[in-house]
Amino acid sequence: MRRPDTLGGKAALLAACALLAAAVSFTLSACMPSYPKEELPEAVKTVCKSEYNMDVDVTVTGQTIGIYYPMKGLLDVSLSISKEAWDEISNLILVASRVVLSTDADIKFYCVITQDARLPELQVVIIKYVDDVKRGMYRNISRNESFKRTLFSLNLTPQAKKERSIEKVFNKLGVGDQTRQKVLDEFFRSAPTKLSDIGYWRGKFYIKDVKLPEFLAAQMANRIKLDFKGEEHLEKDFSFKSSEGLYIPQGDKGFFLIRFKIAEQAQEENMTSLRVKKVREILQMINHVLFGYKFRDFDFVVLEDQLENATLRVDAADIFDFEKKRLSVEEIVQAPSGYFIQQVSAQ
């Protein structure tokens, strides 16, 4: 299956960002419509139906609005997202952005979810930060940066995976339907705790009130994936497996936890320089995200190199100053002895 971060997917999202900027700029420069917060879900449904003949489901959870649309033909014969699907996804993004920029509701994030009506176990989820939409509209950030600030995932519907597994157990035990539904409702149908668990299943949203720190953590992991899988100078030296970003509240602030599996592809004598290069690239991406959002409400960053079973730590001040002061990786990263092979003493 084609990855959603391929050139085709990126081009489609970049085109959607350009279309959005033009349309919203025109709307604001003319007569800005008003969508009262009490009518926000119905307003989205009305706009989608009247302008694009799309029947959507809408929910508002805290400062997050979720829009769900089941489409026909999400995937083409090669199991890639079809051109028609990209067009409809772009329309959903456009409607979501227009409405949240024209309402008195305090909406910080929107989440677009779509599935193929024939295969709802597979979903596309797009999460955007409303301030990023505004900055892209006024060209305070580039189209490419706007793309990288968009969380995009093509995955198996988390709730579907969960319920399918439980139903297999029910079948083996011969549990009746009434008992099944009661157990599922009480123990397995709850709001997600992580962004990766967001989805839609059997007429119900599984969505959470997205917070900026967790969005930034997920964005860090997404940028790591995009760069290590898409930049030539990184692809030749590293083999990307996975990455995950979390924000862990702790005391008055919290910390970022970035897990990754990225293997070095080199001879033994080059391992030291590549290990440093890998960590430097990751720190640069984290610095770029935090500096771009001026986010300082954290104490430190933990890097978990899962292939090496190593936990690294970098203080908040060093993360912020990393690019400006050209700090040395080995000096600021607190790592297990020998992680960098020719490493200076850990702080």
> Which sequence spans correspond to the domains of the chain?
7-156+198-208, 213-332
Task: Tell me the C-alpha distance between 81 and 74, whole Å.
Answer: 6
Residue 118 token pair: 């024939």
3-class DSSP state of 320: helix
Task: Tell me the C-alpha distance between 207 and 216, whole Å.
Answer: 17
21-27 CB contacts, 8 Å cutoff, 24+ apart: 21/136, 21/137, 21/139, 23/94, 23/98, 24/97, 24/98, 24/101, 24/133, 24/137, 25/137, 27/98, 27/101, 27/102
What pTM was computed for the model? Answer: 0.87
Measured in whole angstroms, the distance separating CA 258 from the mean position of its chain's CA atoms is 14
pLDDT tens for each residue of the chain, 347 residues long: 344 444 456 566 555 555 555 445 444 444 454 688 888 999 999 999 999 999 999 999 999 999 999 998 898 888 789 999 999 999 999 999 999 999 999 999 999 999 998 899 999 999 999 999 999 888 889 999 999 999 999 999 999 999 999 999 999 999 999 998 999 999 999 999 999 999 999 999 999 999 999 999 999 999 999 999 999 989 999 999 999 999 999 988 999 999 999 999 866 556 678 999 999 999 999 999 999 999 999 999 999 999 999 999 999 999 999 988 888 998 899 999 889 874 444 44
Task: Tell me the C-alpha distance between 346 and 225, whole Å.
Answer: 27
Bridge partner list, 127: 111, 151
Bridge partner list, 115: 70, 123
